[in-house]
Amino acid sequence: MPTHVLIVDDHSDVQEALRILLKGEGYSTERADSPAAALAALTARRPDLVLMDLNFRADTTSGREGMELLARVQALDPLLPVVVMTGFGSIELAVEAMRRGARDFVQKPWHNARLLAIIRTQVELSAALRRSHRLEAENALLRGEGIPTLIAESPAMQAFLSLLHKVAPSDANVLITGENGTGKSLAARVLHASSNRADQPFLTLNAGGLAEGVLESELFGHVKGAFTDAKTARSGRFELADGGTLFLDEIANAPRALQARLLRVLETGEFERVGSSTTLKTDVRLLSATHSDLDAEVQAGRFRQDLRFRINTIELRLPPLRDRPEDVAPLARHFLARHAQRYRKPLPTLDEAAVRSLEGHAWPGNVRELDHAIERAVLLATGSLIRPGDLMLGPPAPPSAPSELSLEEAEGLCIRKALARHGNATAAAAALGLSRSAMYRKLQKLGIGR
């Protein structure tokens, strides 16, 4: 395919002159006469290079619109080369554009030979950079770097991982189900990192944690003035994730009124920003997650049946921790190493009684509860061993009321124990891996007398 150049200028004669010049060198071109038209063109088809003016009708001298467009192009694709065009006497503006990410500049009227040389050089450099990034991503995958850890020694998790790795290379939409705390977001990251889109964006959004209007803007973006607080235009997740993966957590809680727009973008790849009539296109793989029973949500009329079929080409169900007892001890040791490093403490070990206590617990909060329990134990343990008392699990709790301290309560208890053991704040701070000033700040915050 010929190299494709997007020409952005509000003067039709400039556009035509550039089109004729580039056509003679074997380039294909597309033209846009405004930043909005340029962004629409970029979404519909990604060019190999953008050749753009810095001044448009709405602002003819400062370059403000051009700088804003440059920033948007950089956000969409940091490797896409942008060459800016400036009028005579605007060198300072061109230099500022290059400081903000433009690759080069030309002055109007341009010299054909210089302009063609710049375009050829920047296209070749961009292609080399993209090849380098792809190789780095592929090598990282081969080395196992960048792929999150899913601990799976139990038969239940081995079956889950086997299915995950079968579907990961495809572009199929995947629905990840399971109880709260089972690791659905981690599974989504593993899916992306194991896919052919691993070197492309991975964006996440909780579909149940935002008001309908905010969620719509976060997903599809908005134009300036679309609503009261829309002081500038903004790209949404579907636009920013183009070529990559979008993970929508708590998909069952998406407002019914918004589900039709979700269905459309999944079926056609088309959407409009809030407040805009310009149709944009995106190529996104959707991963969704929920702990709800979607069939029940459909029956209750809260979730569209057609959307349910669209989001779960494949369903991956994460088993609860109580059904994978073989994973409890390996997970606990994984969290132990992570939290010991986080709190700058020597790596303790779990004594046998602590392991039995962990394996005998019901884990109503699943892997998330285990993570919190180990973090608390790292904070509370005073020696090189973690014992059952440090875990503070107590008797198994019902799912509606898991027994655990808040992190602040655990931190306060840990500091009080260190003060009692060492007798003064300085020695206690050293034992906890804190600086003296950090220790006094925590004492003040927690209301602990020195």
Which H, E and C letters describe 395-441, residue by residue? CCCCCCCCCCCCHHHHHHHHHHHHHHHHCCHHHHHHHHCCCHHHHHH
Domain that holds residue 210: 155-319
* pLDDT on residue 271: 94
Torsions phi, psi of 222, nearest 5?
A: -150, 160
User: Is the residue at 139 inside a domain?
Assistant: no
46 and 167 co-located in one domain: no
User: Is the residue at 142 inside a domain?
Assistant: no
- Give the pLDDT of the chain (450 residues) as one tens digit per residue: 789 999 999 999 999 999 999 999 999 999 999 998 998 888 778 899 999 998 886 546 677 888 889 988 887 777 899 999 987 556 788 888 888 888 999 988 899 999 999 999 999 888 887 776 666 555 554 444 456 778 989 999 999 999 999 999 999 999 999 999 999 999 999 999 999 999 888 999 988 767 888 899 999 988 888 887 777 788 889 998 999 999 999 999 999 989 999 999 999 999 999 998 888 999 999 999 999 999 999 999 999 999 999 999 999 999 999 999 999 999 999 999 989 998 888 898 999 999 999 999 999 999 999 999 999 899 888 888 898 888 888 554 444 344 455 666 677 777 777 776 666 777 777 777 677 777 777 777 776 754
Q: At what angle do helices 407-422 and 366-380 cross, to 10 degrees?
A: 20
61 and 8 co-located in one domain: yes
- Residues contacting residue 314 through CB under 8 Å, at least 6 positions apart: 163, 167, 172, 173, 174, 175
311 and 435 co-located in one domain: no
* pLDDT on residue 130: 75
CATH of the domain at 197: 3.40.50.300
CATH of the domain at 382: 1.10.8.60
CATH of the domain at 96: 3.40.50.2300
User: Is the residue at 197 inside a domain?
Assistant: yes
391 and 410 co-located in one domain: no
User: Is the residue at 261 inside a domain?
Assistant: yes
User: Is the residue at 147 inside a domain?
Assistant: no
* pLDDT on residue 209: 67
* pLDDT on residue 143: 47
- Residues contacting residue 141 through CB under 8 Å, at least 6 positions apart: 147, 193, 194, 198
299 and 221 co-located in one domain: yes
User: Is the residue at 386 inside a domain?
Assistant: yes
User: Is the residue at 146 inside a domain?
Assistant: no
